[in-house]
Structure 1
């Protein structure tokens, strides 16, 4: 769920139940609580997209096709584990621990391709 979706749900809850909460005598506290929750949610930061090399973006897209065009992080990692061999020109990139973290972040939060 994105931040915007969460804020919309809170605002809808606020709109749908404001009158009932007022009628039951706890309207002000209920309404203020939802207002506060909306304010906090709007301040949340969205995860930042990481920047990856073009060849890594190609790997991710190929792996998504392999796993039925779903963003399945474990499926993508499994595919890559089977796909790479020491003869691959980018073999060293995938076995660097920092690059593995970058790859997982790209799969989970989206990515941008670095300029050549």
Structure 2
């Protein structure tokens, strides 16, 4: 899907939905711990005084000049599980992120986390 070496270059770029509606800006990328491939991104959304990070899958996403286009509509992304801008995704909250987008969740064979921030 994406080259992991390029992840740092995406930070701060606009994230848009399929209709080119701006969702926010890319904050970080979470990789699947089993494959080390980018799997979710966090997007900064909200008003300047009440910002939060929402999770959006990278499956099917495309990169363009200055933006990352995801396949999910703005209304679904805005309702996604979120964390504070300086927060961390708790292990017990990972399944809710997958469920929100209809994705199957399974922890690693040894019970390890499925997502790791890059």
TM-score range, shorter chain: under 0.3
Give the TM-score, by structure 2 length: 0.20
Give the TM-score, by structure 1 length: 0.21
Q: Which has the higher contact order (CA 8 A, sep 6+)?
A: 1
**Greater per-residue helix proportion:** 1
